[in-house]
Structure 1
């Protein structure tokens, strides 16, 4: 018996379509990120159709203007991020917003699962535990294997 759930047919059709769309989107982004390398490889093999996507044919003055424009945009965006980080640092520098959670005791876990505490304690000290659930996902028991 395999303990890994590997039956995509059990998921709903909208969920499968949704995850298929997400997968397609990220494969598209991945291919887009590789486009400069793909273009370089195409040039090496003599395919020059993608040559026009780069700005090699422009005059030097136009290139200088674009470099200044792009540098200005990057500086403004970077500066705004640094300013935002500074403001957030000033707002929260002495505020401790996070606290360690209270550890759950064996009795808390047993009460949550509605099972005997001795049984839950045995599971915690076992090396291999296979959980059993009902059709609603509620824990109904476990098998301890050594």
Structure 2
């Protein structure tokens, strides 16, 4: 067996159970990695004064006051209801409507020829090509026309 077979996995060939197990193993590995860094993160937070700020602002000053927490939860619930109501209103209003009333009008061959400053036969040839490249001068006139079938020609 090749060494690459152990490292490179084709997601489409794996069963859903194998994908879920692989995701679970990856999650556990990341959690373990984060757990190993916790002492360093804690040390940096203590040095920065985060622990002292947390104790002063939340733990001691508001230890027995649940009214603030209930007020915050109430505000969160009201906000969720307002946003959900707005989403349902927009869904009901715009669900089955098309946003564009009408597509852009097609450009006629004569308009295209006039805009490119070429005769209509050349405009038709450009239209029939699958790939065409136009190079314009500083006055926005085409100077070189390249197509997939022909060599470049100077206008």
Q: TM-score range by the shorter chain?
A: 0.3 to 0.5
Larger radius of gyration: 2
Q: Which has the higher contact order (CA 8 A, sep 6+)?
A: 1
**TM-score, normalised to structure 2's length?**
0.45
**TM-score, normalised to structure 1's length?**
0.47
